Amino acid sequence: MAEVQVNWRQAPDNISLSDLIAPRHQKRLSLGYNTTENHRLHQNGGVASLALDCMSQYVLEVAEDTAKLGRWTSILVGNPHHNTRIVTASQPLQPSPHSSRSSRTPSIGRTTVWSQHDREYRHSPKPHYFLPNGEMQSIRSIWFDDLLAQLCAWKAQHEDIILLLDANENIYTGRLSTALHSLGMEELFRQANGQEAPASHIQGSTAICGAFATSGVECSHVQHSAHYAGVGDHRFHLLQFSAPSIIGTSYPLPGHSTSRKLNSKIPRIRNAYNAVLVQLTELHCLLQRLQTLSADFESMSAAAFQLSFDK
């Protein structure tokens, strides 16, 4: 997930990203956002990686950007002999000085991901942030150098890598694509479908979001949704991987749970079951709660509806 846009330190104590996504499911979450500042609940940027249900049992490690800026986050899955690093990263977009929105509201420029990074780099400078003439490199160059260094470090640990990327540049012709190719990483939509991915943003003309992987990862199918099929104005991506290439083993086959079948042919058993069902329905006010949800459905977000329904 990219652009989570929440400063979770200011979120209510009873609300977390783990509560909002697949509640009551077993999961492992790696969440990255800018923790060098703490101004308000809404915060541009942020990324998250999530392993659900069966996959969560194979998580060996969760990690985030050591700069504490939420530039990327990762989950290491597999076993001690075979593991894969799944990385979610988002490259900052340089704000346009000609943006009418920014000119109307100057404070917007101070809250962009670009400005957040700029303030932190100047506050906590490192030698590689600067050019030989003493000037600071561009925000994108620092992001680029740090991500590539981190990917190389993971590869040196003999980890396969899946990079889920919001590049904010053409994923086929940008310099990031060239660098990833030099690391032996291929873009998976083109690899699986034999053609380049469609434009990511509804108003865009090129693919700026994509998935890259090292040669040890087997990906058989990749699909990009239509615009507005999910949350936001970008396409969401579906990828199918071979489990042995990711976690070093096949998923366990689901087994049938041992239980007694409900016998509805005998009136005594049927009536006793229905009596208990009615009693529990009245005790927990299920019909009234369903009516309330039905009345409020149009005005509730999908996440709020799911949380209320699960309660």
Is 195 in the same domain as 285?
no
**pLDDT value at position 257?**
62
Which residue type sits at 31? Answer: L
Is 78 in the same domain as 159?
yes
pLDDT digits (tens, 9 = 90+) for 114-139: 999 999 999 988 998 989 998 999 99
The more confidently predicted of residues 297 and 43 is: 43
Is 195 in the same domain as 283?
no
Distance between CA atoms of 251 and 296, rounded to whole angstroms? 40
pLDDT digits (tens, 9 = 90+) for 81-104: 999 999 999 999 987 765 544 444
Range with the lowest mean pLDDT among 4-8, 121-125, 192-196, 253-257? 253-257
The more confidently predicted of residues 295 and 158 is: 158
- The half-sphere exposure of 128 on its side-chain side, counting CA atoms within 13 A, is 7
- For the record, the structure tokens of 308 come out as 């209320």
Spell out the residues 6+ positions from residue 77 whose beta carbon is closer than 8 angstroms to its own: 51, 55, 58, 59, 60, 83, 84, 86, 246, 247
Could you give the number of structural domains in the chain? 2
The per-residue DSSP string of 218-287 comes to: -EEEEEEPPTTSSSSSB--EEEEE-HHHHHSSPPPPP-PPP-PPP--SSHHHHHHHHHHHHHHHHHTTHH
pLDDT digits (tens, 9 = 90+) for 9-49: 999 888 889 888 888 888 999 999 999 999 999 999 999 99
pLDDT digits (tens, 9 = 90+) for 136-190: 999 999 999 999 999 999 999 999 999 999 999 999 999 999 999 999 999 999 9
Distance between CA atoms of 195 and 189, rounded to whole angstroms? 7
Is 93 in the same domain as 186?
yes
Indicate the burial class of 200 (C-beta count within 10 angstroms; 0-12, 13-18, 19 or more). buried
**Which domain range does residue 295 map to?**
267-310
Residue with tokens 């239980």: 259
The more confidently predicted of residues 309 and 236 is: 236
CATH code at 183?
A: 3.60.10.10
**pLDDT value at position 106?**
46
Where are the alpha helices (H) located in 157-199, listed in sequence order? 175-182, 188-193
Please give the C-alpha separations between residue 121 and each of 71, 142, 219, in angstroms, as whole numbers. Answer: 13, 9, 37
Is there a domain that residue 17 lies in? yes
Which residue type sits at 220? Answer: S
Q: Strand 82-90 relative to strand 160-166: parallel, antiparallel, unpaired?
A: parallel
Residue where a domain stops, chosen among 247, 280, 295: 247
Is there a domain that residue 257 lies in? no
pLDDT digits (tens, 9 = 90+) for 217-258: 999 999 999 888 877 788 889 999 999 999 998 877 666 666
- For the record, the structure tokens of 22 come out as 């697949």
**pLDDT value at position 152?**
97
Residue where a domain stops, chosen among 218, 247, 276: 247
* pLDDT of residue 7 exceeding 80: yes
Q: Strand 82-90 relative to strand 59-64: parallel, antiparallel, unpaired?
A: unpaired
- Structure confidence at residue 58 as a pLDDT band (50, 70, 90): very high
Is 82 in the same domain as 231?
yes
**pLDDT value at position 104?**
44
